[in-house]
Amino acid sequence: MSALRGFVRAVDWVNERFGRLVALLVLVLVGLVVMEVVLRYVFAAPTVWGTELITFLFAGMIMLGGGYTLLHRDHVNVDILHGRLSPRGRAIADCLTAGFALLYCGVLFHYTASVALEALATGRTTGTDWNPPLFPVMLSLPVGAALLFLQALAKLVRDLHLALTGRVLAP
Amino acid sequence: MSPELASLFLFGGFILLIALGLPLVFALGSVAIIGTYFLWGPQALAMVGLRTFSAANSFVLIAVPLFIFMGCMLERSGIATDLYDMMYKWMGGVRGGLAAGTVLICGIFAAMVGVSGASTVTMGLVALPSMLARGYDRRLSVGCIAAGGALGVLIPPSVLMIVLGLYANVSIGALFLGGIPAGVLLMVLFIAYITVAATLRPELAPALPRGERAAWRERLVALKAVVLPIALIVLVIGSIVSGAATPTEAAGVGAFGAMVCAAVQRRLTVTAVTESARITLRLSCMVIWIVFAASIFTALYTAVGAQAMVRNALTALPGGRWGVIIGMQAIWFLLGCLLDPIGIMIITVPLFFPLARSLGFDPVWFGVLFVVNMEMAYLTPPFGFNLFYMRGVAPPSVSMADIYRGVIPFVAMQALGLALMMVFPGIITALPRAVL
C-alpha cells in the first residue's frame, strides 16, 4: 500500500512541477509574438525563425500540459449521472472507464514515440528557410502522452482504492 | 461493416463512455482507436501520431492560449469591479438598471475574454451580491448573469469561433464580425425582457432610492477607469476584423496590452502572472486535447459514411432546405442539453457544414448560428456550464431551482434571437460582407 501511495504522490508531484514550469511558456509565446509583430509591421523585417519557433513552443506547451490538466480535473466531462453518485460510486464508474483513457494515452505514446525516434535517428528537418531539426518538438508528443498516461494510471489507483476500501488514498 | 453499424458503434460507444463520466478527450480518442483497429487494422493506427502532430502544429490554435491569458490578466487588473462600479453609478437609478447594466458589462467583458466561464464567475462574484443587496429578485439576478456570461463565446474574441473557423474552414475574421451584431441583438433582447419585467413588477428590480444615486461628477470620474481596457479591445478586435493582423498576432499583442493594463492598475504581481499562466495552460489543454482526439475521431467517422447517413436523414425532413437547417438547430439544441459546445462542434461540424454549403447557405451565417445556438447550451440543464459556474459562486440563499428557473426567460430570448437571425440572415451577414 505504501508503494502505491508513493507512486500516486510521485506522479502528482512530477505533473504539478512540470505543469507549473510549462505554464510559463505562455509568457515566452506572448513575448515572441509581440516581437514578431513589431519586426513585421514596424520594421518590415520579420525573422525567418519566429513563426516556426512559436508553433513548436505552443505544441510543446499543450502536449506537456495534458497530465497537469488531468491532475487538476480540468479535462471536461459530462456529469449528468456522474455528479449524482457518491464519491465511492463515482470511483467505481471511473474504474470501469479507466481502461479507455489508458488505451488512448498508450496508443498515442506508442505511435508518437516511433515517429519521434525516427526523426531523431534520421535527423529530419522541417525543410523551411530556418530548417531546424524536427525531433525536439516531436519528442514532446510521446513525453506528453506518457505524463498523461501516468496521471490517468495514478487516478485509477486512487479510484480502485476508494472503490475497494471506501477510504481516500493519498489525498 | 455497414455504415449504419459502424456509425452506431462509434456514436453508441462514445455516448456510453461520456455518460459514465469519462472526459471527452478520452472518450473520443479511445473510440476512434478501437474503430480504426477493427475497420482498417493495426497498421492504420499510425495515423493517431500523425494527426495529433499536425493538429499540434497549427498556427491558428496558438491564439487560444493567448486570448485566454489576455482575459485572465484583464480580469486580475480589477476591470470587472471598475466596470460594475461605473455601471452602478450610471444605471442604478433606473428600474431594472442593475440587471440591464450587468448584461452590458457582460457584453464588454465578452469582448475581453474568449470563454464563457470567465465572465459568469467574475460577474457572479461582483454583480450578484450587489443586486441581491439592493432587493433584486434572485432568479432575475442569476438569469441575467448566466445569460450575459455566455456572450463570451459569441462576442469576439471567441475560443469557440477560432476552433470552429479552423475546423469548418471558415474565415475566423468573418465569424468574429458576424458575432458582433449577433451578440448585440441578444443583449438588446435580454435588456428588453428585463425592462418589461421590471416595469410590470417593480418589486423584481427596484431603482436605487434618490439619496443613493451617484452625482454626475462621480459618474464621469468612474468612466476614467475603463478607458484603457476598452481601447485595448478596440485595437485587438479591430486589427483582426480589418484583416491587418492574424488572430494569433492580435491575441499576442492583446495579452501584452492586458499586462500593461494590470501594471497601470498596480496589479501586475508575480502571483497574478503565474496564476493566470497556470489557468491558461489548463483551459487551453482542455480545449486543444479535445481537438487532438477529435481529429482522429472525425477522420474515422467521415470514412465510415456517417456523412451520407446524416444527409439522407436530414433531407428527408419536410420543408426542403430550410427543414434541414431547422432540423440541425433542433439537434444542436438537444445536444446542448447534454454536451459541451466544443464536443458538439467536433461531432456535428464535419456532418453539417458540407451539407449546409451544398444547400447554398452562407457558411459564415451558419457558423454564427451554431455559436448562437451554443449560447443556449451554456444555460440548458442537465449539462449547462454556466449553471454550474453560477452554483459555484452564488450565495447559499440562491437555490439550484432558482438558477434553473431564472435562466428560462433568457433561454427563450436566445431562441427568439436565433429565430430572428434565421429569418433575417442579414443581421449576421451584413457586417462581414461590408468589411471583407
Q: How much is the pLDDT for B100?
A: 96
| Contact assignment for A55 to B34 by CB distance below 8 Å | no
* Helix, coil or strand: residue B205: coil
On the question of pLDDT at B1 being above 70, the answer is no
**Which distant-in-sequence residues (6+ apart) come within 8 Å of B220 by Cβ?**
none
Q: What is the pLDDT of residues A154-167, one digit of tens each?
A: 999 999 999 999 88
| Contact assignment for A72 to B282 by CB distance below 8 Å | yes
Question: ipTM for the complex?
Answer: 0.95
Q: End-to-end CA distance of chain A: give it in Å, rounded.
A: 14
Annotate B342-377 with DSSP letters as a single string: HHHHHHHHHHHHHHHHHTT--HHHHHHHHHHHHHHH
Q: How much is the pLDDT for B382?
A: 78
Query: Within 10 A of B362 (CB to CB), how many other CB atoms are there?
Result: 19
3-state percent breakdown (helix, strand, coil) of chain A, nearest 5: 75, 0, 20
Confidence class for position B193, pLDDT limits 50, 70, 90: very high
Chain B nearest-CA residue for A82: B21
Please state the φ and ψ torsions of residue B243, each to the nearest 5 degrees: 85, 5
Chain A nearest-CA residue for B33: A104
Residues of B in contact with A75 (CB under 8 A): 23-26, 285-286, 289
Q: Using an 8 Å Cβ cutoff, are B65 and A153 in contact?
A: no
| Contact assignment for B285 to A66 by CB distance below 8 Å | yes
How far is the C-alpha of A111 from the C-alpha of B58, rounded, in Å? 20
Query: Within 10 A of B140 (CB to CB), how many other CB atoms are there?
Result: 24
Residue pLDDT tens, chain A, 171 long: 788 999 999 999 999 999 999 999 999 999 999 999 999 888 988 888 989 999 999 999 999 999 999 999 888 887 777 778 899 999 999 999 999 999 999 999 999 998 899 888 998 888 888 888 888 889 999 999 999 999 999 999 999 999 999 888 877
Chain A nearest-CA residue for B274: A24
**Which distant-in-sequence residues (6+ apart) come within 8 Å of A50 by Cβ?**
A32, A35, A36, A39
**Which distant-in-sequence residues (6+ apart) come within 8 Å of B373 by Cβ?**
B329, B332, B333, B336, B418
| Contact assignment for B53 to A141 by CB distance below 8 Å | yes
Q: Closest partner residue to B20 among A62, A75, A97, by Cβ? A: A97
Q: How much is the pLDDT for B244?
A: 85
How far is the C-alpha of B287 from the C-alpha of B153, rounded, in Å? 13
Best probe of the B interface among A16, A17, A30, by most B CBs < 10 A, is A30
pTM: predicted TM-score of the whole model, two decimal places: 0.91
Give how far B278 is from chain A: nearest CA, Å: 5
Q: How much is the pLDDT for B189?
A: 98
Residues of B in contact with A100 (CB under 8 A): 17, 22, 26-27, 30-31
Q: What is the pLDDT of residues B97-154, one digit of tens each?
A: 999 999 999 999 899 888 887 788 888 988 999 999 999 999 999 999 999 999 999 9
Chain B nearest-CA residue for A61: B281
Q: How much is the pLDDT for A18?
A: 93
On the question of pLDDT at B298 being above 90, the answer is no
> What's B207's DSSP letter?
P
Q: How much is the pLDDT for A83?
A: 75
Best probe of the A interface among B281, B291, B334, B389, by most A CBs < 10 A, is B281
Chain A nearest-CA residue for B293: A104
Conformational region of residue B338, where left means phi above 0, alpha means psi within -120 to 50, and beta covers everything else? alpha
Best probe of the A interface among B47, B115, B282, B386, by most A CBs < 10 A, is B282
How far is the C-alpha of A26 from the C-alpha of B66, rounded, in Å? 7
Query: Treating both helix axes as pointing N-terminal to C-terminal, what angle do B341-358 and B159-168 enclose, rounded to 10 degrees?
Result: 40
Helices (H) and strands (E) in chain A, counts: 6, 0
- Mean pLDDT computed over B393-406: 90
**Which distant-in-sequence residues (6+ apart) come within 8 Å of B202 by Cβ?**
B95
How far is the C-alpha of B394 from the C-alpha of A1, rounded, in Å? 40
Q: How much is the pLDDT for A72?
A: 94
Q: Closest partner residue to A108 among B52, B59, B281, by Cβ? A: B52
Q: End-to-end CA distance of chain B: give it in Å, rounded.
A: 46
* Helix, coil or strand: residue A133: strand
Q: How much is the pLDDT for A94?
A: 94
Residues of B in contact with A104 (CB under 8 A): 25-26, 29-30, 33, 293
Residues of B in contact with A77 (CB under 8 A): 18, 21-24
How far is the C-alpha of B9 from the C-alpha of B21, rounded, in Å? 18
Give how far A164 is from chain B: nearest CA, Å: 19
| Contact assignment for A82 to B20 by CB distance below 8 Å | yes
| Contact assignment for A26 to B277 by CB distance below 8 Å | yes
Q: Closest partner residue to A37 among B45, B249, B290, by Cβ? A: B249
Give how far B252 is from chain A: nearest CA, Å: 5
Give how far A17 is from chain B: nearest CA, Å: 11
Domain boundaries, chain B: 3-435
Chain A nearest-CA residue for B13: A100
Q: Closest partner residue to B26 among A36, A65, A101, by Cβ? A: A101
Instruction: Name the least confident of B258-272, B306-320, B396-410.
Output: B306-320
Give per-residue burial for B275-287: e unless 16+ CB within 10 Å, then b. Answer: ebbbbbbbbbbbb
Q: How much is the pLDDT for B224?
A: 82
Domain boundaries, chain A: 2-165
Q: What is the pLDDT of residues B334-355, one digit of tens each?
A: 999 888 898 899 889 988 999 9
Give residue A126's identity as a one-letter amino acid code: T
Best probe of the B interface among A107, A128, A141, by most B CBs < 10 A, is A107
Residues of B in contact with A111 (CB under 8 A): 45-46, 48-50
| Contact assignment for B21 to A97 by CB distance below 8 Å | yes
| Contact assignment for A78 to B48 by CB distance below 8 Å | no
* Helix, coil or strand: residue A125: strand
Annotate B285-322 with DSSP letters as a single string: HHHHHHHHHHHHHHHHHHHTTHHHHHHHHHHTSSSHHH
Q: How much is the pLDDT for B311?
A: 83
Q: Within chain A, what is the greatest distance between any pair of CA atoms? A: 66
CB pairs under 8 A between A and B: 192
How far is the C-alpha of A17 from the C-alpha of A11, rounded, in Å? 10
Give how far B114 is from chain A: nearest CA, Å: 16
What's the distance, CA B163 to chain centroid?
12
Q: How much is the pLDDT for B272?
A: 93
Residues of A in contact with B252 (CB under 8 A): 29-30, 32-34, 36-37
Chain A nearest-CA residue for B48: A108
| Contact assignment for B26 to A104 by CB distance below 8 Å | yes
Annotate B62-100 with DSSP letters as a single string: GHHHHHHHHHHHHHHTTHHHHHHHHHHHHHTTSTTHHHH
Cell numbers at A61, concatenated: 506547451
Closest Cα to residue B349, out of B210, B169, B168? Answer: B168
Q: What is the pLDDT of residues B59-94, one digit of tens each?
A: 889 999 999 999 899 888 888 888 899 999 999 999
> What's B34's DSSP letter?
H
Q: Closest partner residue to A23 among B245, B278, B289, by Cβ? A: B278
